[in-house]
Amino acid sequence: MGTRFRISRRQASDRLDDRMRQVSLVVSVVALASALAGFVQTLIGEAAFSLPGEAVVTLRHLPARSAGGDASLVLMSAGISLLGLLPVIRILVSVWLYARSAAWKDLLAALVVLGVMFFSIRMSL
């Protein structure tokens, strides 16, 4: 029988905080880079600051618009969408870390929050 090493609740919390900081930083940098790339492309294309048509493309329509060649709007929309999905990404990372550390009560709470979040996203579409 192998010995199971358990980490303290404080260590688990610190590890979760570190991972959340890393996830937030990476997603925020990618989202900002995407939005800025789309904005710069719009400026280089000599477009006006007030663009006709949609201000942002929803996630549902993003793949279709990217095939249409409207790269600047797609890049800006992808950046905005990534920032909007950051809370979902953070909860998914929490679920994964709680499952790995066998923190069953915390895992259950994170799954409930994830379910409520997916339900509210689905209802808003």
pLDDT at 108: 93
69 by DSSP, 3-state: which? coil
For the segment 60-88, what is each residue's pLDDT rounded down to a tens digit?
A: 766 776 666 667 777 887 888 888 888 88
Residue written as token pair 């007030």: 50
Residue 1 is assigned to a structural domain of this protein: no
Identity of the residue numbered 98:
Y
Question: What is the residue range of 27's domain?
Answer: 9-124
Pick from 62, 117, 116: nearest CA to 87: 117
What was the pLDDT predicted at 23? 87
Average pLDDT, the chain: 78
Residue pair 27/83 in contact by the 8 Å Cβ criterion: yes
Answer whether residue 4 is part of any domain: no
- Determine, yes or no, domain membership for 3: no
Report pTM: 0.62
Does the pLDDT of residue 3 top 70, yes or no? Answer: no
pLDDT confidence bin for 1, thresholds 50/70/90: very low
Closest CA relative to residue 120, chosen from 94, 93, 88, 90: 88
pLDDT tens digits along 100-113: 888 889 889 999 99
Cβ distance 117 to 35 under 8 Å?
A: no
Domains: count for the chain: 1
Domain presence at residue 95: yes
